[in-house]
Structure 1
Amino acid sequence: MSLLTVGSVAFDALETPFGKTDKIIGGAATYITLAASYFTEQNNLVAVVGGDFPQDMIDLLETRGVDTEGLQIKADGKTFFWSGKYHTDMNTRDTVDVQLNVMGEFDPVIPEAYQACQYLMLGNTAPAIQKQVLERLAQRPKLVMLDTMNLWMDIALDDLMALLPLVDVLTINDEEARQLSQEYSLRRAAAKIMGMGPKTLIIKKGEHGALLFQGERIFFAPALPLEEVFDPTGAGDTFAGGFIGYLASTDDISFDNMKRAIIYGSAMASFCVEKFGTERIVNLTDDEIRERVLEFVSLASFEIK
């Protein structure tokens, strides 16, 4: 089934306790589409970059089967840029520089070929832009998944609240879930947030795994203990891409299949953090992904006697 991802394609400059990079390819939609490319063949992208964005990076996306007809190139503008520095614990970071550039005036144009998409991933952008995408589609997709963050809860809460009833799956981290719900207990937070509209909620807990909520049903996916974590940038987006990519490939949105999708998303995210940027998730093999998924399965597999 076809997947449409709308979000940012960007430059990042990163510094972690393991080293630093100059400008490398980043952005939510980049990580999402790359992760999803291992599962679905119809993988469409709507984003915007400036004239400074190298053709070889676009070629990289296309090599992975990402359709870039919806990638706008503003020749007289500059690509969105983010620079950050991670603390020793790798869970906290400081933003060093943000330059919205062409992303500041992003007008998502949906090509005709994308109009019939069955799965829609709204990557982390302003809620008003995300809502605009839904309004510009000729028909509602089978499943709409939304990623957002605490920034929009701070400066665009009304827009976000108007958007939540229009989506099927919301993915946020535990801090954001508590902020949005004003509840400390994640179970109470989930119930309150699902009451705002989304039928399904994913709460990401970083190195502590992820929770899947739907009605009264709950599933927990552990995180894989890794020997080294080089760069957590994009891990959440890679998780989302693996999750919705798997759903699109199976065309099954049941709760049981979402549990499998959570594991595939977690496996993709575990690859992402092993190298800087997108380096690790560009050339994975099917065998590597399967072996990693089986590692996740073994973490919580046991027999009751």
Structure 2
Amino acid sequence: MSLLTVGSVAFDALETPFGKTDKIIGGAATYITLSASYFVRPNNLVAVVGDDFPQSMIDILQGHGVDTEGLQIRQGEKTFFWSGKYHNDMNTRDTVEVQLNVMGDFDPVIPESYQNCEYLMLGNTSPAIQKMVVDRLTKRPKLIVLDTMNLWIDIANDDLKALLPLVDVLVLNDEEARQLTGDYALVRAAATIRKMGPKTVIIKKGEHGALLFQDDRIFFAPALPLEEVFDPTGAGDTFAGGFIGYLAKTDDTSFDNMKRAVIYGSAMASFCVEKFGAERIIDLTPEEIQDRVGQFVKLSAFSVDM
């Protein structure tokens, strides 16, 4: 089943307690498509970069089977750039610098060859851009997954709420769920969000795992305990890519299969944090992924004597 991802392809400059790096490949769509590439092809990308974006990085995406026909390269302009510094706890960070550059007026163009995609991943961009993508598809995909963040809840709340009835799954973190609903209790917050439109809600809790809500059903996936978290940048996007990639591969959107997809997404995210940027998820093997999924299974398996 084909997957279409729309979002940012960018440069990141990162500093963590373990070191720092200058410009490396980043952006929500980069992490999503790389993660999804281990599960699904065609794996189509719609994004925009400037002419400063090196061909070698595009080659990495293409080497993973990512179709870049929808990647706009704007001549004479610069690629979106984000710089951040993480605190010692690795859960909080400061944004040092943001340069919107080509993302400031991104106009997503959907190639004709992408029009029949069965699965759509709306990576973290403004709700206005995300809605533009939905409106420009000639056929509604089987499943639309939306990722958002606190910035859009704050400055584009009306646009976001207008978009929510058009999507099937909303992915956000616990802080954002509380911000969107005004409710600290995540079970109630998820119920409120489902009334806004999405049938399914995934609330990420970082090192404490993820919650999946649908109707009156709840599933909790733990995070894998790691001795060191080297760089959490892109972990949430990597999770989303693994989640929708697995669903597209299996072509099964049942709640039981979504539970499996959450585990696969969590496994992919656990790889992402082991090195800077997207470095770790570029060279994974199928055996590594299955072994990591097995660790998640062992982590939560138990028996009960009644």
**Shared fold per TM-score greater than 0.5:** yes
Structure 2 residue aligned with 1:187: 187
* C-alpha distance in 1 between matches for 2:299 and 2:272: 19
Matches within 5 A, 1:11-160: 11-160=11-160
Structure 2 residue aligned with 1:247: 247
Structure 2 residue aligned with 1:291: 291
* C-alpha distance in 1 between matches for 2:102 and 2:278: 22
The letter of the residue matching 1:6 is: V
The letter of the residue matching 2:167 is: V
* C-alpha distance in 2 between matches for 1:40 and 1:128: 27
The letter of the residue matching 1:215 is: D
Structure 2 residue aligned with 1:226: 226
* C-alpha distance in 1 between matches for 2:159 and 2:76: 30
Structure 2 residue aligned with 1:272: 272
Deviation, structure 1 residue 61: 0.2
TM-score scaled by length of structure 2: 0.99
TM-score scaled by length of structure 1: 1.00
* C-alpha distance in 2 between matches for 1:206 and 1:55: 33
The letter of the residue matching 1:227 is: E
* C-alpha distance in 1 between matches for 2:82 and 2:184: 30
Deviation, structure 1 residue 68: 0.2
The letter of the residue matching 1:55 is: Q
The letter of the residue matching 1:67 is: D
Question: Any idea what SS the aligned residue of 1:261 has?
Answer: helix
Moved over 3 A (4+): none
Question: Any idea what SS the aligned residue of 1:23 has?
Answer: strand
The letter of the residue matching 1:83 is: S
Measured against aligned partners, the alpha-carbon deviations of 1:8-67 in whole angstroms (never above 9, x if no partner) come to 000000000000001000000000000000000110000000000000000000000000
Measured against aligned partners, the alpha-carbon deviations of 1:237-294 in whole angstroms (never above 9, x if no partner) come to 0000000000000000000000000000000000000000010000100000000000
| Alpha-carbon RMSD | 0.3
How many aligned residue pairs are there? 305
* C-alpha distance in 1 between matches for 2:28 and 2:123: 6
* C-alpha distance in 2 between matches for 1:174 and 1:104: 28
The letter of the residue matching 2:9 is: V
Deviation, structure 1 residue 201: 0.1
* C-alpha distance in 2 between matches for 1:13 and 1:128: 27
Deviation, structure 1 residue 181: 0.8
Question: Any idea what SS the aligned residue of 1:281 has?
Answer: helix
* C-alpha distance in 2 between matches for 1:87 and 1:70: 36
* C-alpha distance in 1 between matches for 2:227 and 2:57: 30
Aligned sequence identity (%): 80
* C-alpha distance in 2 between matches for 1:199 and 1:76: 43
The letter of the residue matching 2:195 is: G
Structure 2 residue aligned with 1:238: 238
* C-alpha distance in 2 between matches for 1:172 and 1:59: 30
Question: Any idea what SS the aligned residue of 2:232 has?
Answer: coil
Unaligned runs of at least 5 residues, structure 2: none
The letter of the residue matching 2:269 is: A
Structure 1 residue aligned with 2:178: 178
* C-alpha distance in 2 between matches for 1:118 and 1:253: 11
* C-alpha distance in 1 between matches for 2:155 and 2:22: 30
Structure 2 residue aligned with 1:209: 209
